Amino acid sequence: MILGAAERGARLDHAGVAAVLDWGVHQGRAFVVTASHGRSLTQVVDAAGPLTEREVLRMTVLIADAVAYLHGEGMVYQIVNPGSVNVGYDGRELQLAWPLFLVRTGTPATDTSGEAVRAGVPPYGGPEALDLDGTIEPSMDVYGIGETAYFLLSGRPAHTRGKLGLAEHYAQKRQRAVPLREFAHRVTAPTASLVEGMLDPDPMRRPAASEVRDRATLLMRRLTR
């Protein structure tokens, strides 16, 4: 699955998606080489704490634009989360750094042998991440953008796992997250609404990545006037 994703990823061309340079098998293990750079957003927040609303909106625009590109190419990234997005050392460029689970939109959650194709990424995956029925859809990536923005603004995941097992953790995600402004008091209502909309437990109610990009762009402009 990883090598297939690498081959698909090598055909992509977008500044916000790490270029796949090579892939193969060495001593029985698959490997993929990408041109990702910088630090993950998890490392940035761990080092400096939550970011400003305007900065998070800027990052959300960049992430959503990359995700919208993938969706336009008929792909689902699956693992949008703070650990899979890298920021360049200049603090300006962002990249989806690990295109190892790229699948075609509508791919069944299990392959013909019954093996899971859906990528579970606790604590940031959507509530459908462990559902092995149905298909893999772009809404999974939008949930990841919401989880990433929530973390960048508050310094914590939207749903904390604690001592919960994986299945219990994902069952918890089927309930709405604690309102963002309980942990990020200075965030404006429009931004909180956008983030919480992406985290809707029902995939059908989440906005498209292109809508997220456009709304975040508008909110960022209003905050800089």
The answer as to whether 221 is a domain residue is: no
Q: How far apart are CA 153 and CA 147, in angstroms?
A: 10
The answer as to whether 65 is a domain residue is: yes
Of 15, 11, 100, the closest CA to residue 66 belongs to: 15
- Does this model's pTM top 0.75? My answer is yes
Query: Which of 16-30, 112-126, 166-180 is predicted with the least confidence, judged by mean pLDDT?
Result: 112-126
Residue 169: the pLDDT is 87
Please answer whether residues 99 and 6 qualify as being in contact, where contact means their C-beta atoms are separated by less than 8 angstroms.
Answer: yes
At residue 116 the predicted structure's pLDDT band, cuts being 50, 70 and 90, is confident
The answer as to whether 222 is a domain residue is: no
Residue with tokens 């590109």: 69
Instruction: For residue 38, give every residue at least 6 positions away whose Cβ sits within 8 Å of its Cβ, in sequence order, or none.
Output: 86, 87, 88, 89, 93, 95
Query: Rounded to an integer, what is the distance from CA 102 to the centroid of its chain?
Result: 12
Query: Rounded to an integer, what is the distance from CA 100 to the centroid of its chain?
Result: 13
Across 4-13, 22-31, 45-54, 111-120, which has the greatest mean pLDDT? 45-54
Domain range for 16 = 2-214
The answer as to whether 219 is a domain residue is: no
Domain at 186, CATH number: 1.10.510.10
pLDDT in tens, 192-225: 999 999 999 999 999 999 999 999 999 999 998 7
Return the percentage of the chain with pLDDT > 90, whole number: 70
At residue 58 the predicted structure's pLDDT band, cuts being 50, 70 and 90, is very high
DSSP notation for 6-55: HHHHTT---TTBPPEEEEEEETTEEEEEE---SEEHHHHHHHH-SPPHHH
Task: Tell me which H or E stretch contains 72.
Answer: helix 53-72
The answer as to whether 193 is a domain residue is: yes
The answer as to whether 34 is a domain residue is: yes
Structural domains in the chain (count): 1
Residue 90 has pLDDT above 90, yes or no: no
For residue 116, give both structure tokens: 């899971």
The answer as to whether 150 is a domain residue is: yes
Residue 92: the pLDDT is 77
The answer as to whether 98 is a domain residue is: yes
